[in-house]
Amino acid sequence: MPAYDDLMAFQRTTEALGQVAGRTGWDQETVMPRGSAPQRAEEMAALEEVLHARRTDPRLGDWLDEAHAPDAAGDANLRELRRSYHRNLKVPANLASELARVTSLAQGHWASARAAEDTAAFLPVLAEVVRLRREEGAALAVGTNMDAYDALMQDYEPGGNAADMATMFDAMRPRLLAIRERALAAGKAPTLSGHFPQADQMALSREIATAFGYDFTRGRLDLAVHPFSSGSGLDVRITTRVDEDDPFNCIYSAIHEVGHATYEQGVDATHLLTPIGRGVSMGVHESQSRSYENQMGRSEAYCGWLYGRMRDVFGDIGVGSERDFYRAVNAVGSGYIRTEADEVNYNLHIMLRFDLERALILGGMEVGDLEATWNDRFLSDFGVAVDVPSNGFMQDVHWSVGLMGYFPTYSLGNLFAGCLMAAARRDIPDLDTDLARGDPSAATGWMRKNLQQFGALRPPREAIEHATGEALSAEPLLTYLEAKFGDLYP
């Protein structure tokens, strides 16, 4: 197997360099000095030039033609490499480098413009990002039956397409709106009150992250404007953010990112620095974060434990019973912020972003119209007028860093999570007893055994069906939501 061995040796170095690039991005969002942004943009562009050259090296094509896989993992490695190689060949090196440079700069422009509520400072660089991503999408679509948006989606959800996503959204929307209408008619849920110091929130988040299986010997928890997880294998880092009046923001962002991070930490070590040594798609990734955050972390059983633990840490938190705390954790409301949205409204936030970014890429809308279009759509969908840009189209980092085609994978992840947790509860009948003790290890262990350890061994939907033993369906998610919120809002 000399061709396969040569191929994998070459790819190991490429994978390692990709991890270095990712860690450079982590540094930029957490500890990099603000004045370093122009140089960092050049550094990111230089790294991308090196990576693009390796990903399009003619030797890859020769090795792929000659290679014979030794086993199923080898077959999967070849599958992933062929897909990556043929996609990268379509993107000119100067375009790949320019995208890396511009999105690195745009991230800083977004952060400062968001803090200043300054739309005019952000739109020019966003327009440049959109222009470059349109160009990339058009290049990737050549020789396929995909449009530019579907072509970009393949970076995040291989095999996904906008038509399937739209069909999924059309099926989900009526039932989500019915749940929301019932919940909002029931009146406001209890809310926490008090002061929640940053140091205490972070300490509790680290405790919870450990209980959910995050290995701090191979990771760390830091603060960022927008929470995220970065890395794979032996170095997987997470971030959260703190509001001293709202501890849920920190705690549940941390649990969410732990779901992502434990997926990467849980991949079998034999796949380290190989094409299958990471999560197979962002939809499957999101299935882990949403399972951890919502179906475990916001369950009534776990909330009972968390109520007591938060009273230990913070004292009086403004709610007087486990049931009221559970209602506070799962309050349904038409808030501005996607990452803080309840499980009912969350997918409606994604539908908005999906429609707008698709229009941006396909030319149905220009960047100059984005803010007004967002505000009109938000008022229509949520009944609330956007007050400031950071509560509107500038709230998410994704568009500034060029992640067009990413947003629909969040809802796909919710759908996958519904299937996975239904199967986990089938196999772990006493799960709520464990969660009531603050111990999610039975469920997180089930995820590692049935999904995480395999990395990208199987394509996304096949990975979920293999884990659950069931055909993929939106029904488990919708049934779960109707049961949970039907109980909370009878």
For residues 60, 403, 290 and 352, what is the CA-based torsion angle, rounded to 10 degrees?
-140
| 459: alpha, beta or left? (left if phi > 0; alpha if psi -120 to 50) | beta
Dihedral (Cα; 263, 266, 270, 274), 10-degree rounding = 20
CA-CA distance, 436 to 302, in Å (whole number)? 5
CB proximity list for 137: less than 8 A, separation 6 or greater: 147, 148, 149, 151, 152, 361, 404
Assign 221 to helix, strand or coil: strand
304 burial level (CB within 10 Å; 0-12, 13-18, 19+): buried
The single-letter DSSP state of residue 34 is G
What's at 355, amino acid-wise?
D
Work out whether strand 229-232 and strand 221-223 pair parallel, antiparallel, or are unpaired. unpaired
Phi, psi for 162 (deg, rounded to 5):
-65, -35
Q: Are 348 and 184 in contact (CB under 8 A)?
A: no
Active site residue 29: no
Which of 296, 297, 243, 234 lies closest to 271, judged by CA? 234
Instruction: Name the CA dihedral angle for 447, 451, 456, 457, rounded to a multiple of 10 degrees.
Output: 150
d(CA 239, CA 256): 10
Query: Among the options 15, 48, 136, 257, which is catalytic?
Result: 257
Q: Which of 304, 294, 381 is nearest to 330 (CA)?
A: 294
**Catalytic sites, residue numbers:** 257
